[in-house]
Amino acid sequence: MIIARSAQELQDALQTMRGSIGFVPTMGALHIGHRTLIDAARKENECVVVSIFVNPTQFLAGEDLSKYPRREEADFKICELSGVDVLFYPDVSAMYGEDEVRICAPDVRGFILEGASRPGHFDGVLTVVMKLLNIVRPTRAYFGKKDAQQLSLITQMVHNFFMNIEIVPMDTVRESDGLALSSRNVYLSPSEREEALKLSASLKRATKMVMQGNTKSSEIKASMESILSPLDVEYVTIVNRSFRFLDEVVIGDTIVLVAARVGTTRLIDNVWM
């Protein structure tokens, strides 16, 4: 595995390779969810690039940038054992200069839900993903459905800027008890982890209601909220794939989303229907 620490080093490494490039951008603290993305990239492409970069511009003041889990040695091993060809591991100065041009999230889709809770977050995500996609120039890039709004905005950016890259959405990976895998799960104490199961339990309830023929968003949300209580719930909502709010679930075009704070940890989860 080649480790590249600058755009130039990455491009030099890629020059020695042939065929399609599968790209998995990450912020490190790799878990089985990331492994699933890397495995899919490995299966579908000749060459696999993973980036590990804790992007400062997507963290708001007071968020967990300084304590975001960093596990260089373990992450490098996971990449190596997963058959990654090139690991892109830049520092902040290799990615950002002074007074730069940035990508802005769209007015509506970028400023509801996660965008409302974390103003400016998606500008940072889109800016760094644009940089990464331009450096790697992949054939396919792999993103998890757990960050559904991020995935939707990245797909829109690639379309709006006529970028010739296939964005591949990948299902959320869960622990056997339903907890969605997230690098931030390490912040949870054992009792908080127990409480956190309410997120996936509420989504299971939503799925069950829809399977039983109840597609009314207001009723599904009320039922989910009763399961989530007494967590500090930020939102429970039902949107279509373009992030327009739905009064009724439309099978094949619906995402049910939840965001809640468990202790001091903010967790998100969703189910695609």
In DSSP terms, which residues pair with 235 in a beta bridge?
259
Rounded least distance, CB 272 to ligand PAF, Å? 17
58 vs 200, beta carbon nearer ligand PAF: 58
Rounded least distance, CB 189 to ligand PAF, Å? 24
DSSP state of 260: E
- Find, among 181, 167, 169, the residue nearest to 268 by Cα: 181
Whether 34 is catalytic: yes
- Find, among 191, 160, 211, the residue nearest to 262 by Cα: 191
129 vs 239, beta carbon nearer ligand PAF: 129
56 vs 216, beta carbon nearer ligand PAF: 56
Residue 167 near residue 155, CB atoms below 8 Å: yes
Residue 136 near residue 49, CB atoms below 8 Å: yes
Residue numbers at the binding site for ligand PAF (CB under 6 A) = 25-27, 55, 58, 125, 128-129, 147, 150
Rounded least distance, CB 271 to ligand PAF, Å? 18
125 vs 256, beta carbon nearer ligand PAF: 125
Rounded least distance, CB 150 to ligand PAF, Å? 6
Burial label for 128, CB within 10 Å (0-12, 13-18, 19+), is: buried
Residue 158 near residue 165, CB atoms below 8 Å: yes
Q: What are phi and psi of 46, to 5 degrees?
A: -75, -30
Q: What are phi and psi of 103, to 5 degrees?
A: -90, 135
21 vs 128, beta carbon nearer ligand PAF: 128
Rounded least distance, CB 162 to ligand PAF, Å? 20
- Find, among 56, 18, 15, 65, the residue nearest to 183 by Cα: 65
Please list, in sequence order, all residues whose beta carbon lies within 8 angstroms of the beta carbon of residue 97, skipping any fewer than 6 positions away: none
Write out the two tokens for 62: 């007071």
- Find, among 37, 34, 89, 27, the residue nearest to 58 by Cα: 27
Instruction: Count CA atoms within 13 Å of residue 39 on its CB side.
Output: 10
Rounded least distance, CB 71 to ligand PAF, Å? 14
Residue 132 near residue 25, CB atoms below 8 Å: yes
52 vs 209, beta carbon nearer ligand PAF: 52
Query: What residues are annotated to the active site?
Result: 34
